[in-house]
Structure formats: structure tokens, C-alpha cells
Amino acid sequence: MTTTAPITAVRPMDEEADLFKINAVDHLEFWVGNAKQSVFFWKALGFKPVAYSGLETGNRRYASWVVQQGQIRLVLSTPYSAHDEMAAHQMLHGDGVKTIAMEVEDVQAAWRETTARGAKGVQPPTEARDDHGAIRTAIIQGYGQTHFQFVDRADYAGPFKPTYKALPEDKTAVPTGLAAIDHIVGNVELGKMNFWVNWFHQAMGFRQIVHYDDKVIHTEYSALMSKVMGNGNGRIKFPINEPAAGKKKSQIEEYLDYYVGPGVQHLAMITGDIVKTVRALRERGIEFLRVPQAYYDALPDRIGPIKEKYDDIAELGILADRDDEGYLLQIFSRPIQDRPTVFLEVIQRRGARGFGVGNFRALFESIEIEQEKRGNL
């Protein structure tokens, strides 16, 4: 069934070679049908609402909540008017990630380098000011209708950006140990993988970190191809998936059908203690995919000694994988909205820098069981 080829390191990471410096993912903005209620979902994941923009703050166009946990900052926004482009976006795509924002040192340079190399500009460098200082942003077009934004908030001391006010501490939001974004995965259409690999390489100066082809990632029925693009300091990792031909519908095709085009498939968040984090998330009702017990029967032989207890790993449905540098533990949620589109990953790295290729087969088989239930296989 599945042949596991070695992971190919295409080019070494090299910060010096970056076209422009990206320090971190600044935030992800979701455009959703009801931001106020989405806040409650993210609170269950341990995120605290920290800032708000809306009618009360002078924002007459949309309501927007910033939630944060560790270094992960998410923005949940909903338009007030049915005629707003945000409403059209939400009607077409359902809830999803509109913007991936990256914190850069020089927004002008990021805009200049990317647009000169073929990226389509959406918003040229713009400065917004309030009593807290100045924030500079620019936006280029990513896959589908997804925006990539560059942010420089070095001269801004406010809670998020102008029109947003800080919220009082919400003691009902109890952290679960999610600390930082590890990677953000995009799904693109059949035949578009290499376009986007080249786009990230040429326009953003990223390098290909790993490549899994459809011989690596397929089950009896469905297949996909995946390539991982990243920047030189390794803080930005954007895997890209493309459906591959199989007997039945690829999970990537299901996403593309329901999102109506390319977009963010999953957001992977780092924890320093996955057993504790997943236990807390499960207690709060967050739903994760489960793989069959046979996976756990074979796991100790496949992975060898680990710091965690195998009993905990099996009880919580956590997956494990090992490479030359160490191992990693990961788990995937069910879709986080009604459409089978965006989902979440929780990951703990113990040395390994891969993405869990050894788990793809077991994982995809369990995704297919869910697809079958939805009548989409």
C-alpha cells in the first residue's frame, strides 16, 4: 500500500539568504459568521480574548476579537453589513483564514521584494496611527483568496492596532499550554502545487524544506502531495498540499469543494507537554481524530523509548513519529466549523523537525472514515 521514501532535504536553511527578514507569524485572521461566538470556541482551547474592535470603538464596518495564548494571536472578525466583501467571502467560503500576517522588520522592503518578484499587491505599505503609536502593514495575494500581510509593530504599543481596545482579563479562559504556531498548511488545486512552490521560492525567497510525494502519502483510496516551504530562520513553515489521483476523492478535493477554492487547511500549534494539553482539550470537549488500536500496538516498536507514557499516548489518541533528529507527538482535530475545511493540529517536538510522515497513512485512513460518514469519499 504505502511505500515510505526518505524525506528529501532540498536546501539547507540559511537566514542570510532571506530576501527580507520575517521574525514570526504575527497573527491569523479568521473571517467568520459570528465572531462573538467563535471567541467561546477559542476560549475552550485556552485562548484569552485580549482586544476588541467594533461599534463601541468606532469601527462601524465589522466586529473583531483578538484572542491570544502564548505567542499565538488569532483575530476573529464578522462584518456588520451584508454588502461588505467580508460577508460575500464568508458566504462563499464559510468560516476560514483570510489573512496570514507575518511580523517583519521592514514592511517597505517586504512589499518591494515580493511585488518586484511577481507577487500581486493588495494593499501597499500603509501606516495607521493612534495614541499608542504607529503600525505599518502591507498585503499581497496568497493562494485562493488568502491574504499574506506584513506587519511592523515596533513603534506601536497598543493592544493590537488602531480601533482595537484592550479587554479586561477574562479569568474564565484557562490556558491549555498551546505556545506558538509551528506551521500553517495550505491546500491548492490539482496541478497547482509547483506554481505555489515556485511562488514561495521566487516572491518570498523561501526554500523547500521537505517533499512528500503521492507514493509516500496515499491509502487505498485517496492520495495527496505535499511540499513544505520555509524561510531561512525556520520560523515560518508553510506546507502546501495538492490532491493526487486515487480511487476515491482525496481529502484535499473535499476541502477544495467545501471551501470553494484554495485556502488554509490546518494550523499546527506547539505545546511543551502534549499529554497535559490534549487531556485539557478533551475535557473541554474539543474533538480529535482517532486512529485504530492497532496503531498503538505497533507504536513502541516503531518509535522506541520516549519520555511520555505509551498508555497516555494511546488513551488520548496522540500520534508519534521519529526521524534522525528525534521524535514528535501530534494530534489532529475534527474540522472546527460545519464545513469539512479548516482543522487544527497540536504538536510537541522532541528533536524531530519533520511533520509526522510516518503517521500520514494511519491518519488518512481515519480521515477517510469521517469522509465516508459525510458521503464525500
Binding site residues, Fe ion, CB under 5 A:
268, 345
- Cα–Cα distance measured from residue 208 to residue 228, given in angstroms and rounded to the nearest whole number: 6
Question: Would you say 104 or 217 has its CB closer to Fe ion?
Answer: 217
Least Å distance, CB 267 to Fe ion, is 9
Q: Which amino acid is at 175?
A: P
Least Å distance, CB 341 to Fe ion, is 15
Question: Would you say 107 or 319 has its CB closer to Fe ion?
Answer: 319
By Cβ distance, which residue is nearest to Fe ion? 268
Least Å distance, CB 348 to Fe ion, is 13
351 closest CA partner among 314, 323, 375: 323
Question: Would you say 138 or 225 has its CB closer to Fe ion?
Answer: 225
Least Å distance, CB 241 to Fe ion, is 10
Q: How many residues does the chain have?
A: 377
Least Å distance, CB 268 to Fe ion, is 4
Question: Would you say 151 or 228 has its CB closer to Fe ion?
Answer: 228
Question: Would you say 268 or 278 has its CB closer to Fe ion?
Answer: 268
Question: Would you say 119 or 268 has its CB closer to Fe ion?
Answer: 268
> How many Cβ atoms from other residues are within 10 Å of residue 15's Cβ?
11
Least Å distance, CB 208 to Fe ion, is 16
Least Å distance, CB 100 to Fe ion, is 15
Three-state secondary structure readout of the chain = CCCCCCCCCCCCCCHHHCCCCEEEEEEEEEECCCHHHHHHHHHHCCCEEEEEECHHHCCCCEEEEEEEECCEEEEEEEECCCCCHHHHHHHHHCCEEEEEEEEECCHHHHHHHHHHCCCCEEEEEEEEEECCEEEEEEEEECCCCCEEEEEECCCECCCCCCCCEECCCCCCCCCCCEEEEEEEEEECCCCCHHHHHHHHHHHHCCEEEEEECCCCCECCCCEEEEEEEECCCCCCEEEEEEEECCCCCCHHHHHHHHHCCCEEEEEEEEECCHHHHHHHHHHCCCCECCCCHHHHHHHHHHHCCCCCCHHHHHHHCCEEEEECCEEEEEEEECCCCCCCCCEEEEEEEEECCCCCHHHHHHHHHHHHHHHHHCCCC
C-alpha cell at 149: 500581510
Question: Would you say 52 or 206 has its CB closer to Fe ion?
Answer: 206
Question: Would you say 95 or 345 has its CB closer to Fe ion?
Answer: 345
Least Å distance, CB 183 to Fe ion, is 6
Question: Would you say 62 or 212 has its CB closer to Fe ion?
Answer: 212
Least Å distance, CB 332 to Fe ion, is 8
